[in-house]
Structure formats: C-alpha cells, structure tokens
A = this chain, B = another copy of it.
C-alpha cells in the first residue's frame, strides 16, 4: 500500500554465478514494476563455513557443479550474456564487496556491481586484483585512489562483516537472495520475478 514498502533487498555475493544473472537485470525488472531495489553485498564464505563447507558447493559436489556450469551457459545464451567460469572458482570477492559499499554510498553502486560481474564472468578478469578493481571504479567515472582507500577503512570492513552476520541471522544461506519488506526470502535468479511481484503487492 504505502510507497516505502515496495522495495526489495538484493543480497548478492560476487563469487556467485547466479547473482551475475540477477545483477544484470534486476534494475530493469524492478523499475518496470515500480519496486525500489536495495543492493546489499555480503559474503557467503562465513555462512558456508558455519555449515561445514570449506568451498563452494559447486566444488564440493562435482555433479552439481557441472550442472551449474551448463545451466549458466544456457541461461546466459538465452539472455545474450557472455559466460565463462572463472579460474579459480570461486573468486575472492571481499575487496570488490567493500568497494561496492563505498560505491553504493556514493551513488554508483549498481554500475560498479554490474561491471564487477561483467569483468568476472564475461571478461575473465581476476576480481581480487587491485588494478582490475581500480579500473572498474575509473570506468564508473570515480577516483579509484579515493574509493579504494575508503574501502579499506575499518568502518567499511565492519559494515561488510555486519551485513554477512545479518544475512545469516535472517536465514540467508545462498545467493542471490531477494528479501521483501515483510521478510519473505526468495532464493535464486529464477525467483526474481516472483519476489518483485510479491513486493508490488505490499
């Protein structure tokens, strides 16, 4: 009913293949539906570790990993996106996630996030590499020295830790995850449209 509840929190992890698919379309899908998106980076590593996983489930369970790659190839092709598995997989997305927090503060968050995913899954770039990240900030029209400097400060590091703990306390166990204002969770790119429709009705 009230405008401010028609929003969706987009919980994403830069290592996550299916988060790439959602990052590239959520702004358009949500805008079309009149739903506001809150972009929220977090880390799956600590959440996986808490349930005994030492790596991505796609590495731990090879049949599932092979399936995911083929599924991503098919979905990306249907959406005219490039997709190549990063090597190594998963990439370490901590630095990118910290920069994303600064970029979101400074109003270029979605642009930066999409560029990271594009670099990682389409262009084969190493997203833990400082030079790569600096280049993406520059491409967004911002000063990489200032942005990367801020991203390494304690308040930003603490915000990423807090976001990850918050995700875990909300029952978030994977990415992408979409959360509506009433606390409903929708997991996976294939639930994005359902989540947006849910948010519209609040």
For A173, give its contact among B64, B173, B191 (CB under 8 Å): B64
CB nearest to A78 among chain B residues: B194
Chain B residue numbers with a CB within 8 Å of A156 are: none
Q: Is the CB of A63 within 8 A of B173?
A: yes
A159 on the interface (CB 8 Å rule)?
A: no
Q: Is the CB of A71 within 8 A of B171?
A: no
Chain B residue numbers with a CB within 8 Å of A173 are: 61, 63-64, 67
Of A94-102, A111-119, A137-145, A182-190, the one contacting chain B is A182-190
Looking at A71, A184, A186, A187, which has the most chain B CB atoms within 10 Å of its CB? A71
Known A70-B184, A70-B185; contact A63-B194, beta-carbon cutoff 8 A? no
- With A and B bound together, what is the CA distance between A67 and B70 in angstroms? 25
Chain B residue numbers with a CB within 8 Å of A63 are: 51, 171-173
CB nearest to A188 among chain B residues: B190
Chain B residue numbers with a CB within 8 Å of A185 are: 67, 70
CB nearest to A75 among chain B residues: B194
Output the least CB separation between A5 and chain B (Å).
Answer: 18
- With A and B bound together, what is the CA distance between A184 and B64 in angstroms? 14
Chain B residue numbers with a CB within 8 Å of A71 are: 186-187, 191
- With A and B bound together, what is the CA distance between A71 and B186 in angstroms? 7
Interface 1/0s, chain A 177-202, versus B by CB < 8 A?
A: 00000001111101100100000000
- With A and B bound together, what is the CA distance between A51 and B67 in angstroms? 15
Output the least CB separation between A71 and chain B (Å).
Answer: 7
Closest 9 CB pairs of A and B: A63-B173, A190-B190, A63-B171, A64-B173, A51-B61, A67-B185, A67-B187, A66-B171, A67-B171
Given A51-B61, A64-B173, A67-B187: 4 more A-B contacts, CB < 8 Å: A64-B174, A66-B171, A67-B171, A188-B190
